[in-house]
Amino acid sequence: MTTGKKNKKIIKIEINKYIEHVTISKKRRPKYKIDSKGEKVLLNPRTVGKERKWKINGQSLYSGMNHNLRAKVVKEIKKYLYEFIRPIPEIKWKPVCIELEFYYVKGVKNKKGEVVNSWDLGNQEFIWMKCFEDALCGNVDFIQKDPPEGKKKKVSIPMRDKYPAKIEDDSVEFIAQRICTFKPIESTEDRKLIFIIKPI
């Protein structure tokens, strides 16, 4: 939704029941070991063939996660967010403030209804805000360019034709302020993210 009068413009993007997990692989591969009789034994009968999912959490993303897995997780989140960004117009005014309103339960409750295991807003804000800013710039998915002959294939470029940028860059010249606010709710079924883009 876009609202505004003259030079004052506000863009609001609301995402209801946002994803809490990212699919890492569609089917888990079987794992085997050789037992004492020399026979092959399946180690993961409960999970083989099932989806492998990762719970979205900024802390586990930047502490010890494999680089390739991190890249896949971030790409999937940005692709998800871009579908909500896609309908908005290109933002030609700068700088802007990006606000994130985070609607979620306070934590796990005991039988008395008391919160016994809360969570850290920063761990969620970090990944959602960064991926949102990248997606705004069109930095969502990547393709490989053919390298010069005799060189390794390491060069990649953003697919801006598929994910056109809505803002020129995410540097401080363009995005000069970020605000994140937690909004408590009673049920995770009512969870939502609201991103607000407004001029400073």
Where do the domains of the chain lie?
2-20+56-199, 21-53
Give CA–CA dist 96/200, Å, rounded: 5
Q: Please give the CATH topology (third level) of the domain spanning 2-20+56-199.
A: 60s Ribosomal Protein L30; Chain: A; (3.30.1330)
Q: How does residue 82 score in pLDDT terms, banded at 50, 70 and 90?
A: very high
Q: Is 56 exposed, middle or buried (0-12, 13-18, 19+ CB in 10 A)?
A: buried
Question: What pLDDT, on the 0 to 100 scale, is given for residue 2?
Answer: 45
Say what the pTM is. 0.77
Give the percent of the chain with pLDDT over 70: 76
Question: What pLDDT, on the 0 to 100 scale, is given for residue 123?
Answer: 86
Amino acid 137 reads C
- The mean pLDDT value for 80-104 works out to 95
State phi, psi for 164 to the nearest 5 degrees.
-60, 140
- The mean pLDDT value for 72-97 works out to 94
Which range has highest mean pLDDT (48-52, 64-68, 79-83)?
79-83
User: Per mean pLDDT, which range of 40-49, 59-68, 113-122 is the poorest?
Assistant: 40-49
75 or 149, which is more confident: 75
Q: How does residue 4 score in pLDDT terms, banded at 50, 70 and 90?
A: very low
The residues with which 199 forms a beta bridge, in sequence order, are 96
Other C-beta atoms closer than 10 Å to the C-beta of 138 total 21
pLDDT averaged over every residue in the chain: 83
Q: Is the peptide bond before 95 cis (omega within 30 degrees of 0)?
A: yes
Terminal C-alpha separation, the chain:
19
- The mean pLDDT value for 35-55 works out to 73
- The mean pLDDT value for 120-125 works out to 88
171 or 24, which is more confident: 171
- Cβ atoms of residues 102 and 181 within 8 Å: yes
- The mean pLDDT value for 44-71 works out to 74
Give CA–CA dist 121/60, Å, rounded: 14
- Cβ atoms of residues 174 and 200 within 8 Å: no
Question: What pLDDT, on the 0 to 100 scale, is given for residue 182?
Answer: 95
Question: What pLDDT, on the 0 to 100 scale, is given for residue 170?
Answer: 92
Q: What is the SS3 assignment for the chain?
A: CEEEECCEEEEEEEEECCCCEEEEECCECCCEEECCCCCEEECCCCCECCCEEEECCHHHHHCCCCHHHHHHHHHHHHHHHHHHHCCCCCCCCCCEEEEEEEEECCEEECCCCCEEEECCHHHHHHHHHHHHHHHHCCCCCEEECCCCCCCCCCCEEECCCCCCCCCCCCCCCCEEEEEEEEEECCCHHHCEEEEEEEEC
